[in-house]
Chain A
Amino acid sequence: MLSFISKKSNSIASNTRNFLRHSTSSQALKPTEEVNSSNNKPKDGRKSYAEFRHIYPEFLPDPKIEFRNSIREKLERSDMIARRTLIDIPEFYVGTIMAVTVSDKHTPGKPLRFVGICIKREGCGLRSTFILRNVVDHQGVEVMYELYDPTIQKIEVLRLEKRLDDELLYLRDSLSEFSTFDSNMEAEILAEGTPVPVNPIKVQLKPRPWLERWERKNLKGVEKIDLPEKFFKRAAELAKPYEKYDLMKQYMGTIPEEEQNEIFAEIQSQLHKLEVTRKKMKRKRTFVKPTKLA
């Protein structure tokens, strides 16, 4: 079964009514070993910077030194905040099921809605993207959206959860039931303050040939791969166990904490305002048009 990626949304229009905007949980799930030693906390009631970097990872710049430009980053951040005041971009992770409503230039006035699971999140700044995957009429469909695309009308999170892996590209080689989500799915609301649930599901892969050599990738969200011994032998030969000890490679793939705090200190008041308005909208009862009785 082939799945193709398109830049714009590509599928059936469905009329679902979301009565309440999805609430964002105020605490991101932290990895168990991490010690939050940063004392830089903004004023009480606001999220600490430790949570910001999980909820808004696209605000952090590209760690590659050659691509850094402080002026461009500052301008991008202000543009990102400006976009966020117009449209609510919720907190989501790889593994959350989302619905994106986008305006189509070929059908003016009729927005297109696509529901899918987020399998990848890439990019930083205004070019940050995410890919949604769904199986529609036995056809796997993936759509890549840019978070700050002005043609996007609405981004809803239907089920907020995380998975055991950072990227779910293996869903392309798994059975279709693991990628199928109902287009008329309703939003599942989490109580405020609950940590983001981690879905420990183990996906079953289809028999080879695959798009990538999944046995070499140390995937945690995949059921035991049933392959002849030689594949695992070769995977062990090619494995680089010393890579996790490379301190500088680690450093160059991330932004140091002091810089992260600087960045979030600049924008935290505006992000907090957006949070407050989001909570207000959630509590506000949305008006449901009364249907005419016979």
Chain B
Amino acid sequence: MNQADVSKLVSQLRIKVNPRLRKFRNPGGPEERLNKLRKTVTALIKHERIELNYPRADEARMYAERLISDAIRYGDCHKTTMEMADYWLTEKQLVHKLFKVLAPRYQNYNVSFSRLYKAPRPYPGDKNLKAVLELRGNPFPSVTPDTQSNRNLIHNVLLDEAKKEYRQKKYEEIASKIEMEAEKMKTTDAATKETSV
């Protein structure tokens, strides 16, 4: 049982965090693990979309989100955050990119800063699960195809027809209600006329 460390404030990550961190296969130990993840995080910040194996992508995503959330929270004038960015980004232009481009971009986000897609594996070939890791707001076209705009695709055709049917049913209901109310008014009018006369 431990007491939570209150010396540093961190932002909540908006991705699913695994309870246990992956060790990977490192002859160089934990230091090498961090070095490898460092390269992945640098590549993600540099290219904004990278294709790699799923476990490494999952791990690097957590670290990238942490780095960006720290950059947003503390900014570049904060010594510890700058040291962190300096360690994690091996190319120093990317430190500028992190604080000047990515932090303002994600300032008001209430979703995660990155997306992780599972990619198809080429068969026959590498048996490892593949993934595509990208930052939100990147300039490339979407990874998943756009299935919404083309109304001639079968699922859109079916959905449009279903909507039409539903609307039709609703109009009929409203029309029948109005008719019933009109009839009621007629009968009450007739009743009142009779009584008055």
Binding site for B on A (CB under 8 A): 31, 33-38, 50, 53-54, 57-58, 60-67, 121-124, 127-128, 240, 242-243, 245-259
- B1, B5, B73: the one contacting A127 at CB < 8 Å is B1
Given the contacts A64-B2, A124-B2, A247-B63, A242 and B9 also touching, CB distance less than 8 Å: no
| A37 lies within 8 A of B87 (CB) | no
Closest 9 CB pairs of A and B: A256-B12, A247-B66, A65-B19, A60-B4, A258-B12, A254-B5, A255-B4, A245-B87, A53-B6
Q: List the count of A-B residue pairs having beta carbons below 8 Å apart.
A: 109
Which residue of B1, B17, B31, B87 contacts A251 across the interface (Cβ within 8 Å)? Answer: B17
Q: A33-B80, A245-B84 are in contact. Are A250 and B10 (CB under 8 A)?
A: yes
Per-residue interface assignment for chain B, residues 1 to 39, with 1 indicating a CB less than 8 Å from any chain A CB and 0 otherwise: 111111111111100010101000000001100100000
Q: Is the CB of B3 within 8 A of A128?
A: yes
Q: Determine the chain A residues whose CB is within 8 A of the CB of B103 once the complex forms.
A: none
Q: Contact between A257 and B10 (Cβ–Cβ < 8 Å)?
A: yes
Chain B: interface residue count, which band? 20 to 34
**Which residues of B sit under 8 angstroms from A61, Cβ to Cβ?**
4
**Would you list 23 pairs from A and B whose C-beta atoms are within 8 A, ordered by A residue?**
A33-B80, A35-B74, A57-B6, A63-B5, A64-B2, A65-B17, A67-B1, A122-B2, A123-B1, A124-B3, A240-B31, A242-B30, A245-B34, A247-B66, A248-B17, A251-B17, A251-B66, A252-B17, A254-B6, A254-B8, A254-B10, A257-B9, A257-B10
Interface flags for B78-112 (1: CB within 8 Å of A; 0: not) read 11100110011000000000000000000000000
Do the beta carbons of A256 and B84 come within 8 Å of each other? no
> Which residues of chain A are near B17, meaning CB under 8 Å?
65, 248, 251-252
How far in angstroms is the closest Cβ of chain B from A211? 21
Question: Is B116 part of the binding interface, using a Cβ–Cβ cutoff of 8 Å?
Answer: no
Query: Is the Cβ of B3 less than 8 Å from the Cβ of A240?
Result: no
A46 to B17, CA, bound (A): 34
Q: For B3, B11, B34, B73, which residue has the most chain A Cβ atoms within 10 angstroms? A: B3
> In whole Å, how far is A175's beta carbon from the nearest beta carbon of chain B?
29
Neighbour of B4 across the interface among A38, A57, A65, A240, CB < 8 A:
A57
Q: Once the chains are docked, how many angstroms separate the CA of A246 from the CA of B73?
A: 18
Nearest chain A residue, comparing its CB with the CB of B19: A65
Q: Is B62 an interface residue (CB 8 A)?
A: yes
For the complex formed, measure the closest distance between the CB of B4 and the CB atoms of chain A, giving whole angstroms: 4
Cross-chain contact B4 with A251 (CB below 8 angstroms): no
A254 to B2, CA, bound (A): 10
- A248 and B21 in contact (CB under 8 A), knowing A122-B1, A254-B4, A256-B10? yes
User: Contacting A240 at CB < 8 Å: which of B10, B30, B73?
Assistant: B30
Closest to A50 in B: B9
Chain A residues contacting B10 (CB-CB under 8 Å) are 250-251, 254, 256-257
- In the bound complex, do residue B13 and residue A256 qualify as a contact, i.e. CB atoms below 8 Å apart? yes
Question: Is B74 a contact partner of A37 (Cβ separation < 8 A)?
Answer: yes
Q: Decide if A247 touches B84 in the complex (CB within 8 Å).
A: yes
| A276, chain B: closest CB distance, angstroms | 24
The answer to whether A258 touches B9 (Cβ under 8 A) is: no
Instruction: List chain B residues, Cβ under 8 A from A33.
Output: 78-80
**Complex Cα–Cα for A37 and B78 (A):** 12
Beta-carbon contact of B30 and A58 below 8 Å: no
Q: Which has the most chain A C-beta neighbours within 10 Å: B5, B63, B70?
A: B5
CA distance A34 to B80 in the complex (A): 9
CB-nearest residue of chain A to B31: A242
Chain A residues near B12: list those with CB within 8 A: 256-259
Q: A245-B34, A247-B67 in contact; A253/B5 too (CB < 8 A)?
A: yes
